[in-house]
Chain A
Amino acid sequence: MMSEKILYSYTGIFDTPNAVIHAAEQVSKEGFTKYDVNTPYPLHGMDKAMKLPPSKLGYVALVFGLAGTLGALLSLWWVSAIDYPIVIGGKPLFSFPAYIPVMFEVTVLSASIATVLAMLFIFFKFPNNSHPLHGTEYMKKVSSDKYGISIQAEDPKFDESLVRKLFESVHAKEINPLYWDNDEINHKNKIFEPKFLVFLLVIGIITSCTAYFTLNKLMFMLPFNWMMEQPKQNAQQRSLVFNDGFGMRQPVTGTVARGYLPYVFKGQPDLAGEKLVNPVPISKESLKLGQTKFDIYCSPCHGYHAEGDSRLRGQYPNPPSLHSEKVRKWSDGRIFAVLTDGQNVMPSYSSQLTLDERWAVINYVRALQRALNAKESDLQ
């Protein structure tokens, strides 16, 4: 049974972009407001021909862009100057130049996301996917190689004969009435259609399953694991090989590692001073090495000339001068004990300086001491 069809619009089809632009100019000149132009691709000059006002989308971009700039600035300021203040690279806590790249990125991100979402939900009325032009012959033509104008029947100036005459005057190739689909008229635009919800749900499930599979399974499969799993013993890990279960092993009893000498005078500096002899001869190389190491490790507290005059003075327990009577009278072995074990607030330097380096530093300290307390014979 055919019920009476309701007219939606009159459509005119054109062959060239220039013809449709010219036609659109005429249509807007006639005073029509409810009409649309459909073309396979955007046409230059169409906005002007249809007398469309500038898009409002720019304001969305502006507002959200500025919000992004300000939001980034405020959050960076709060994070790095208020909530968790850490000095980075000697810069002030609130260091504006470092924020600019982040502010820029957040501006672009929030402006573009807001623009896309506003376009979808406000301008395209997103969950609505129904339009009377959909699925018509007209639509098939104007989405491939033709250009069309559709003037809607609800336009206050609409009149069948008038519209027909108008289309004829601008040389439309085809002029056809277009009717509402009966289903579509009764169609209520629901925000959440079950189909759409199911679609969202399926996408959600697929995305999370893929993410789960990739991160928890795929990454641990042999060709993909990128060396995450290696057949090696990690520190502190329980060993399956050794009976005692320790992964970290002690050296075999009675052996010594290469380049390593056990230090037996721990806690007995005076004994070390008596027993230890400096094995490194005084030479240009050893003094040079000693100077390098002294400048790196000792000078921050004792100063470059061992006078205890570094810039730490006054901010920390004052480091002693190495030119004192006491230190000058110490044997090399006694100083070695200090370097190896540490003394008072001075920590042990045995992990920073090798055995030879420690002796070289001592040689250099001797040279410094000699420079301030020269003997008569040095003058010759």
Chain B
Amino acid sequence: MSSSSVEYHKKELPKKFQTIGLVLLLAGLVIVILGYIVNPERSAQNNIIGFSFLVSIAVGSLFFVAIEYLSGAVWSTPFRRVSEFLSSIIVILPLLAIPLLLNINSVFHWTHPEPTDKILVGKAPYLNVQFFIFRVIFFWLIWLVFYYFITKNSRRQDHSKDQFITTANVKLSAIFMPLFALTITFTAIDWLMSLAPHWFSTIFGVYYFSGTVLAALALSTIFIVALNERNYLVEGITSDSYYSLGALLFAFTNFWAYIAFSQFLLIWYANLPEETIWFLDRWNGSWKFFSIGLMIFHFLIPYIGLLSQPSKSNPKRLIFMAGVVLFAHYYDLFWLVMPNFYKEGIVFGWIELGFPIFISGLIISVFVFKTNRENLVPIGDPKLKRGIDFSL
């Protein structure tokens, strides 16, 4: 019991993954660039989806790292590094923001309001290009600073085994948590809610947050289970840890449904034209089926699929369900963004495929890059041994 040394032999991921990541990255990049040449407007709209999705993965992962420190959780310590690696995407977030900022006029109606539009003129002190760009950079810097210090501390602990580094990270996480709440809320308002600048919903920030957490958790779950099944992590992580990941995924699936339904119910009940128009846009023509699909992919399938105990502990089923949740988050963002521009019905073409391919390539490449350079397990963490011994 007392011997807390954990045997960890670092293994490099097979070259195959690096190749897959690069191929996806380049293929996606080609489609994205072609898309920007052929139809810059529609590409910029897809860019919003892609950017918000990457923010979800990156900042949501940092949220998980922070919440593990804050709550003193031990069960997730052996695979905390997976979330840390995914949060390193924060560094390359500007890559997706810059093309969008160059096309800012073609996606955001509020950048050029008609002088007669009293609502947009009234909102101009908040919704104007300079302040928007300032916010984007400011929020990104906040995330970057906390990403840098938290992961740097975590890496230092690998060698020094100093348990006071954990205390330092707990303090950092405590400062990060309220900042995370504010930045993610304003990011949701800026990038997604302001696409329909006349419309407003006070729960919108929480709505995006619930999707953020789900996406980050689902992707981490896929990586953790896949890596552990192939023994890239330490010996002794059992299906009890899978069960906990699955239970958290299940809980946040319900949280998303709760928030999404709360938003809908209030607007449906009050029936004010300026609010219902947003849902009517999403119930118009073929968007109706898309909205029904959202309920199915984002709630029904994960709910039923994760309800029973074996489905949470079985690696294959858990990875499948996490994949569904991850897909559902992209679907959700598509549902949030696209009906603002195409009121008649669903649009889908090769331009829409560019960003998902590019993003998956990016995530795989970043993850392989980090895995080959750093330890996949926080071997210096004082909670590690207890985390490996975790059982339900």
Contact = CB atoms under 8 A, between A and B. Distances in A.
Contacts of A58: 308-309
A58 B307 CA distance: 10
A89 interface: yes
Interface string B247-283: 0000000000000010011001101000000000000
Contacts of A89: 269, 271
A18 B391 contact: no
Interface string A334-354: 000000000000000000000
Contacts of A18: 1
Contacts, number: 25
A101 B309 contact: no
Contacts of A98: 265, 269
B101 to A, nearest CB: 38
A224 B75 CA distance: 52
Contacts of B261: 100
Contacts of B102: none
A47 interface: yes
Interface in A37-58: 44-45, 47-48, 54, 58
Interface string B1-32: 10000000000000000000000000000000
Contacts of B268: 97
A101 B266 CA distance: 12
B31 to A, nearest CB: 39
Nearest to A95: B268
Interface string A25-46: 0000000000000000000110
Count class of interface residues, chain B:
10 to 19
Nearest to A98: B269
Task: Please report whether the interface of chain A is mostly helix, strand, loop or mixed according to DSSP.
Answer: helix
A111 to B, nearest CB: 12
B265 A47 contact: no
Contacts of B308: 58
B383 to A, nearest CB: 15
A101 B262 CA distance: 9
A45 B309 contact: no
A244 B264 CA distance: 60
B391 A44 contact: yes
Contacts of B392: 44-45, 47-48
Contacts of A100: 261, 265
Contact of A97 (B1, B265, B307, B309): B265
Interface string A280-298: 0000000000000000000
A98 B308 CA distance: 28
A231 interface: no
A97 B391 contact: no
A44 B308 CA distance: 20
A62 B264 CA distance: 27
A248 B309 CA distance: 70
Interface in A160-206: none
Contacts of A54: 309
A279 interface: no
A50 B392 CA distance: 13
A90 B268 CA distance: 11
Contacts of B1: 18
B195 to A, nearest CB: 24
Contacts of B309: 54, 58
Contacts of A44: 390-392
A98 B265 CA distance: 7
Interface in A42-100: 44-45, 47-48, 54, 58, 62, 89-90, 97-98, 100
Contacts of A62: 307
A45 B392 CA distance: 6
A45 B269 contact: no
Nearest to B258: A104
Given A54-B309, A100-B265, A90 B271 contact: yes
A234 to B, nearest CB: 36
Given A18-B1, A54-B309, A100-B265, A45 B271 contact: no
A45 B264 contact: no
Contacts of A48: 391-392
A97 B271 CA distance: 13
A322 B308 CA distance: 72
A44 B1 CA distance: 16
A334 B265 CA distance: 51
Nearest to A100: B261
A89 B265 CA distance: 13
Contacts of A47: 392
A47 B309 CA distance: 14
Contacts of B264: 97
Contacts of B271: 89-90
A48 B268 CA distance: 48
A101 B265 contact: yes
Contacts of B390: 44
A97 B390 CA distance: 42
A97 B261 CA distance: 9
Interface in B227-259: none
A90 B270 CA distance: 10
Contacts of B391: 44-45, 48
Interface string B360-392: 000000000000000000000000000000111
Interface string B135-168: 0000000000000000000000000000000000
A62 B1 CA distance: 40
A141 B207 CA distance: 51
A357 to B, nearest CB: 30
A44 B243 CA distance: 14
Interface in A87-121: 89-90, 97-98, 100-101
B280 to A, nearest CB: 14
Interface string A1-27: 000000000000000001000000000
B201 to A, nearest CB: 16
A189 to B, nearest CB: 33
A90 B391 CA distance: 54
Nearest to A21: B391
Contacts of B307: 62
A155 B41 CA distance: 76
- Chain B CB within 10 Å, residue with most, of A18, A45, A47, A58: A45
Closest 4 A-B residue pairs measured CB to CB?
Answer: A45-B391, A44-B391, A97-B268, A97-B265
Given A44-B392, A100-B265, 11 more contacts: A44-B390, A45-B391, A47-B392, A48-B391, A48-B392, A54-B309, A89-B269, A97-B264, A97-B269, A98-B265, A101-B265
25 contacts: A18-B1, A44-B390, A44-B391, A44-B392, A45-B391, A45-B392, A47-B392, A48-B391, A48-B392, A54-B309, A58-B308, A58-B309, A62-B307, A89-B269, A89-B271, A90-B271, A97-B264, A97-B265, A97-B268, A97-B269, A98-B265, A98-B269, A100-B261, A100-B265, A101-B265
Interface of B: 1, 261, 264-265, 268-269, 271, 307-309, 390-392
